[in-house]
Every structure is written in C-alpha cells, then in structure tokens.
Amino acid sequence: MRWVTHESSTVYENPWISVREDRVTGPGGDGIYGVVTMRNPAVFVVAVDDEHRLCLVTLERYTTGRSIEVPAGGSDGEDPLTAARRELAEETGFEAETWERIGTMNALNGIADAPEHVFLARDLRAAAHAGAEAQEEEGIDAVAWVPFAEALAMIADGRITDGETVAAIAMAGIRLGRFR
C-alpha cells in the first residue's frame, strides 16, 4: 500500500529546518505523521591522506554530547562540493586537490527529509587559512588522522556512534576497496 497524504501543515520552522504534520493513510491505517525537512542538504567529507589515514574531528554535540565524526556541515544553500571544500578547511585546516562525490544518503529517513552528500577528499595540504577560529566556533576539540582499520575498530567498539559518519566511512571503504 502506498502512503496517501490527506492534509499537511507546517507546525514549526526556523532558518535550518521546518517541521510539518501530515494527516495520512498508510500501511497501518489512518494517522498523523511528523516530518522534519532540512532547508539545505548536508555534506560529509571523508578526507584520506597519503598514508591512507582518515581525518576525524571530535566535538561536543548539543543533542548527544561528545562525538567523533568526519568533517561535515550544512551547505548553506551552496553547491554541495563548494560546501564540502569549505567544511574541510574550516573544521580541519586542510584543503584537498582531488574531490570525488561518492554518494548521497538520507538521515533518519523515517522522520526526516534530509539529503546528505558524501565526498572523498584526497591529495591534502594545509589550507591557506587555517580553521582554528571555525573549529572553536563549532566546538571541535581535536582533529586526528586515524588508519582506516582503526576507524573501523572505533565503529565496532562504539567510539564512533554518529550514524552519518559510519555510513560515510562505509561508502569510502567501498569506493577504496577497504574493508579492514
């Protein structure tokens, strides 16, 4: 059975998200469905250096606390590649010569319309303008270069719990042929 939307109304919005409530008929019958829509797609950057290490940032998230993630952020209405380049420089102080879009994913697709673009960044160098000020503004405590196998171990043992980071690393692993 396909979902049927009978009525829809926006119940909250701000510059980043809108929340709507839909009166629907779905597989379980009639009901109300809440949907969060991100106003601008997010970008995730899996930066890999010449030693095949991944760049991870550690920051404090308001919603979940301390988190280890790949560099990421909102596109602010920019082209996703432009946003990915900006986020990498701001969050890590690095730029990449080689960029490859490796996929698109949807965060929390049971409740949200939140497309996310994933990029692989290689051939890295220190950015002309280091990201120390942006790191502080975003609450980034540390930038670390971690061997791919260690990043997978961090996922396996629960040190990395951010779902988008897990998915982005998986996409990069598939692209790079790295499964350990």
* Contact indicator for 45, 89 with CB cutoff of 8 Å: no
Q: How many helices (H) and strands (E) does the chain have?
A: 4, 11
Residue 131 binned pLDDT confidence (cut-offs 50, 70, 90): low
Instruction: Identify the bridge partners of residue 58 per DSSP, sorted by sequence position.
Output: 68, 142
Q: Are 130 and 104 in contact (CB under 8 A)?
A: no
Q: Is the pLDDT of residue 166 over 80?
A: yes
Residues in the chain: 180
Fold classification of 42-176 (topology level): Nucleoside Triphosphate Pyrophosphohydrolase (3.90.79)
Percent of the chain with pLDDT over 70: 97
**If DSSP codes are grouped into helix, strand and coil, which group holds residue 82?**
helix
77-88 tens-digit pLDDT: 899 999 999 999
> What pLDDT is stored for residue 139 in this prediction?
80
52: left (phi over 0), alpha (psi -120 to 50) or beta: left
Amino acid at 50: D
Residue 37 pLDDT exceeds 70? yes
pLDDT computed for residue 137 by the predictor: 74
pLDDT of residue 132: 64
Residue 71 pLDDT grade (very low, low, confident, very high; cuts 50, 70, 90): very high
Q: What does pLDDT average to over the chain?
A: 93
pLDDT digit string, tens, across residues 90-119:
999 999 999 999 999 998 889 999 999 999
